[in-house]
C-alpha cells in the first residue's frame, strides 16, 4: 500500500491507495510536459480570482511569485516529480503550498483538475500548432523556390507508374506544394477550435464562485470561453482533429517520400540527395540510402494509429469527464512530435534536392510520352479524336517494333499511318514542344509553372500577413 491517499481527494477514503494502483493511475510521467501551460493557466486563474475578490492582491502575488519560482525549478531540472501526487497539476500545487503555505491551497478555488487539464492541453496544442505552422511554411517556401528554379527541367509524368506525358520538374514539385497548401488550411482551421477556453467549467457544472471567464480567456489569449461546462471538460474533438490533420499531412509526405526513394534509385536516377540526409550500409560500401524519406514514410503509420486510438478512446464515453481521457496525451504528444520532426526534415531536405536533368530528359524521351501530342496534332488537322487515337496507336506499335521514339521517326515513316502528317509535326513531338503546348493555368508549360510559383508565393505571403 502507498503511505497515504492523495490530499486532493482522499478525505472520504478509509485506507490508502494500493501502491500499484497509484502507479497505474498516475500520469505525471508524461503529463509533466504540460508544466509550463499548467503554470500559465494557474497564473491567469489567480489573477482573475483576485479581480473578483475571491483572493486578495497579496494572495494573488504570493501565488504568482511562487509559480514563477517553480517554473524556474522545472526549467533548471531541480523539480522533484512525485508519482503519488498523480499528475502535473497536483505536483505543482503541492510544491506551491510547500513554498507559500496555506495560500497555495487557495489556488484551486473555482476550478477542477477536469477543466484544468482540458485547458492545459489546449494551451499546449496552440503552442505546438504555431511551431508546426512555421515548419510547414518553411517547407512550402522551399518547394516554391525549387519549382521556380526548375520550371524548364523536363521529366516524365506518370500514371500507373508508367510514362504518360512529359512535364517539368517544377510542375511536379508544385503538385506537392498544392497538397501542403490544403494541409496548411486544415491546420489553421483546427487552431480556431483549439483556441476555446474550458477553464471555469470546473468538474462539469461550473462553479458557485463569481468567476469572470472572459477575463481568464483574455489573459490566456483564448478567443472565447467554452459555452457549455459539460462539453468543455469532456471534449477532445480538437485533439482528434489535429491527429486527422497530421494523418493527412503525413500521407502527403509519405507519397512524396515514395517518389524521392524511387528517384534516388539507380533505376530512375532522377535526383541526388545531399549526403547529410542519407546513410550508408554496414556491409555494402557503395550504398547511399535515402533514410530520411524512408523514415517519414514509416512514421506515417504510427500517426494513423494515434488517430484511431483517439477516435476509439472517445467513441463510447458518456458525458462528462472520464478517467479514459488520461489516455489522450501520449498519442497526442507523439503525433505532435512526429509531425514537427518530419516537417523539419523535409523543410531542410527539399530545397537541397539536386535534379539530374539529363537522366530526367532521357527518361521522358522513352515510353512514347508525346503520343498524345501527335493525336492532338491530328485532331487539329481535322481527324476525329477516336480515329487519331487509333492512328497513333499504330505508330506506337511500329515504334516498339523498330525501337524508335515518335520523335526519332522520319516523316515518311509517320506518313505511312496518315497522309495528313506534315513536317510541322516535329514541333509537337519534341519534349520542349510538348510541355510548352500546355500553356494554360494549371498546365506544365514553363511560363505557367513560373506564374503558378509566384501565385503560391503571394498566397503564402498573404497567409503570413493574415496570421500576424
Domain identity same for 227 and 308: yes
The per-residue pLDDT string of the chain (468 residues; one tens digit each, 9 = 90 and over) reads 444 455 565 566 667 777 788 788 889 999 999 999 999 999 999 999 999 999 999 999 999 999 999 999 999 999 999 999 999 999 999 999 999 999 999 999 999 999 999 999 999 999 999 999 999 999 999 999 999 999 999 999 999 999 999 999 999 999 999 999 999 999 999 999 999 999 999 999 999 999 999 999 999 999 999 999 999 999 999 999 999 999 999 999 999 999 999 999 999 999 999 999 888 888 887 888 999 999 999 999 999 999 999 999 999 999 999 999 999 999 999 999 999 999 999 999 999 999 999 999 999 998 899 999 999 999 999 999 999 999 999 999 999 999 999 989 999 999 999 999 999 999 889 999 999 999 999 999 999 999 999 999 999 999 865 554
Nearest to 445 by CA among 79, 245, 171: 171
Residue 455 neighbours by CB distance under 10 Å: 13
Domain identity same for 263 and 343: yes
Domain identity same for 145 and 292: yes
Degrees to nearest 5, angle at CA 141 with 254 and 151: 85
Residue 416 lies in a domain: yes
Residue 5 lies in a domain: no
For residue 289, the SS3 value is strand
State the pLDDT at residue 467.
56
Domain identity same for 46 and 97: yes
Domain identity same for 308 and 357: yes
Contacts of 219 (CB under 8 A, 6+ apart): 44, 47, 48
Residue 321 lies in a domain: yes
Which residue in the list 160, 282, 410, 440 is annotated as catalytic?
A: 160
Residue 461 lies in a domain: yes
| Residue 285 phi, psi dihedral angles, 5° rounding | -65, -15
Beta strands in 287-440 (DSSP E): 354-355
How far is residue 172 from each of residues 149, 224, 364, 457, measured CA to CA in Å?
A: 12, 42, 14, 16
Q: Which three cell numbers stand for residue 273?
A: 540527395
Q: Where are the alpha helices (DSSP H) in 350-384?
A: 357-365, 371-380
What is the Cα–Cα distance from 192 to 187, expressed in whole angstroms?
9
In degrees to the nearest 10, what's the CA dihedral of 61, 63, 64, 67? 150
Pairing of strands 162-168, 154-159: antiparallel
Domain identity same for 195 and 344: yes
Beta strands in 202-292 (DSSP E): 224-225, 271-272
Residue 3 lies in a domain: no
CATH number of the CATH domain containing 75: 1.10.275.10
How far is residue 418 from each of residues 6, 200, 220, 384, 388, measured CA to CA in Å?
A: 90, 80, 74, 13, 9
Residue 401 lies in a domain: yes
Domain identity same for 384 and 278: no
Degrees to nearest 5, angle at CA 156 with 150 and 160: 130
Residue 2 lies in a domain: no
Contacts of 412 (CB under 8 A, 6+ apart): none
Domain identity same for 103 and 241: no
Number of compact structural domains in the chain: 3
Which residue in the list 265, 281, 394, 461 is annotated as catalytic?
A: 281
Domain identity same for 103 and 125: no
Is residue 303 within 8 A of residue 335, CB to CB? The reply is yes
**Is 281 in the active site?**
yes
Domain that includes residue 35, residue range: 10-109
Go through 84-112 and write b for each residue having 16 or more CB atoms within 10 A of its CB, e for each that does not: bbbbbbbbbbbbbbebbeebbebbbebbb
For residue 324, the SS3 value is helix
CATH number of the CATH domain containing 391: 1.10.40.30
Of 362, 389, 406, which residue is a domain's last?
362
Domain identity same for 101 and 146: no
Q: H or E segment at 159?
A: strand 154-159
Residue 437 lies in a domain: yes
What is the Cα–Cα distance from 345 to 275, expressed in whole angstroms?
14
Of 58, 78, 109, which residue is a domain's last?
109
Of 46, 75, 109, which residue is a domain's last?
109
For residue 310, the SS3 value is helix
What is the Cα–Cα distance from 381 to 384, expressed in whole angstroms?
9
State the pLDDT at residue 10.
58
What is the Cα–Cα distance from 328 to 197, expressed in whole angstroms?
18
What is the Cα–Cα distance from 270 to 263, expressed in whole angstroms?
5
For residue 414, the SS3 value is helix
**Is 359 in the active site?**
no
What is the Cα–Cα distance from 11 to 48, expressed in whole angstroms?
28
What is the Cα–Cα distance from 394 to 246, expressed in whole angstroms?
48
Domain identity same for 240 and 300: yes
Domain identity same for 145 and 279: yes
Q: Where are the alpha helices (DSSP H) in 76-196?
A: 88-100, 113-149, 169-194
Degrees to nearest 5, angle at CA 394 with 391 and 400: 145
| pTM tops 0.85 | yes
CATH number of the CATH domain containing 244: 1.20.200.10
How far is residue 386 from each of residues 199, 380, 382, measured CA to CA in Å?
A: 67, 13, 12
Nearest to 45 by CA among 58, 54, 36, 35: 54
Residue 75 neighbours by CB distance under 10 Å: 11
Amino acid at each position: 500500500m502507498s503511505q497515504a491517499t492523495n490530499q486532493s481527494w482522499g478525505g472520504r477514503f478509509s485506507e490508502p491507495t494500493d501502491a500499484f494502483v497509484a502507479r497505474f493511475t498516475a500520469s505525471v510521467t508524461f503529463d509533466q510536459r504540460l508544466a509550463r501551460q499548467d503554470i500559465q493557466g494557474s497564473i491567469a486563474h489567480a489573477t482573475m480570482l483576485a479581480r473578483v475578490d475571491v483572493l486578495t492582491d497579496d494572495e494573488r502575488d504570493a501565488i504568482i511569485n511562487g509559480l514563477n519560482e517553480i517554473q524556474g525549478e522545472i526549467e533548471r531540472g531541480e523539480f522533484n516529480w512525485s508519482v503519488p501526487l498523480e499528475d502535473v497539476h497536483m505536483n505543482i500545487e503541492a510544491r506551491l503550498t510547500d513554498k507559500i503555505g496555506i495560500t497555495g491551497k487557495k489556488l484551486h478555488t473555482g476550478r477542477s483538475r477536469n477543466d484544468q487539464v482540458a485547458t492545459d492541453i489546449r494551451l499546449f496544442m496552440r503552442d505546438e500548432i504555431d511551431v508546426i505552422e512555421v515548419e510547414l511554411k518553411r517547407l512550402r517556401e522551399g518547394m516554391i523556390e525549387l519549382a521556380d528554379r526548375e520550371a524548364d527541367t523536363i521529366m516524365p509524368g506518370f500514371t500507373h507508374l508508367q510514362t504518360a506525358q512529359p512535364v517539368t520538374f517544377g510542375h511536379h514539385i508544385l503538385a506537392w506544394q498544392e497538397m501542403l497548401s490544403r494541409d496548411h488550411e486544415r491546420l489553421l482551421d483546427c487552431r480556431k477550435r483549439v483556441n476555446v477556453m474550458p477553464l471555469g467549467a470546473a468538474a462539469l457544472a461550473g462553479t458557485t464562485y463569481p468567476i469572470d471567464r472572459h477575463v481568464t480567456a483574455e489573459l490566456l489569449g483564448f478567443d472565447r470561453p467554452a459555452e457549455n461546462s459539460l462539453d468543455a471538460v469532456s471534449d477532445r474533438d480538437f485533439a482528434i482533429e489535429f491527429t486527422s490533420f497530421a494523418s493527412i499531412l503525413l500521407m502527403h509526405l509519405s507519397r512524396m517520400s515514395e517518389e524521392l526513394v524511387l528517384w534516388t534509385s539507380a533505376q530512375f536516377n532522377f535526383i541526388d540527395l545531399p549526403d547529410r540526409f542519407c546513410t550508408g550500409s554496414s556491409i555494402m560500401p557503395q550504398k547511399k540510402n535515402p533514410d530520411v524519406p524512408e523514415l517519414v514514410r514509416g512514421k506515417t503509420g504510427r500517426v494513423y494509429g494515434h488517430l484511431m486510438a483517439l477516435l476509439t478512446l472517445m467513441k463510447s464515453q458518456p458525458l462528462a469527464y472520464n478517467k479514459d481521457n488520461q489516455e489522450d496525451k501520449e498519442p497526442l504528444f507523439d503525433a505532435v512530435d512526429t509531425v514537427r520532426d518530419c516537417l523539419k526534415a523535409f523543410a531542410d531536405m527539399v530545397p537541397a534536392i539536386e535534379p539530374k536533368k539529363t537522366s530526367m530528359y532521357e527518361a521522358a524521351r522513352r515510353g512514347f510520352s508525346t503520343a498524345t501530342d501527335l493525336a492532338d496534332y491530328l485532331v487539329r488537322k481535322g481527324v476525329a479524336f477516336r480515329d487519331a487515337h487509333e492512328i497513333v496507336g499504330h505508330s506506337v506499335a511500329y515504334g516498339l517494333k523498330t525501337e524508335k521514339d515518335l520523335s526519332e521517326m522520319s516523316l515518311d515513316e509517320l506518313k505511312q499511318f496518315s497522309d495528313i502528317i506534315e513536317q510541322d509535326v516535329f514541333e509537337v513531338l519534341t519534349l520542349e514542344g510538348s510541355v510548352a503546348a500546355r500553356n494554360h493555368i494549371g498546365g506544365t508549360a514553363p511560363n505557367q509553372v513560373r506564374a503558378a510559383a509566384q501565385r503560391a508565393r503571394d498566397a503564402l505571403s498573404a497567409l503570413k500577413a493574415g496570421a500576424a
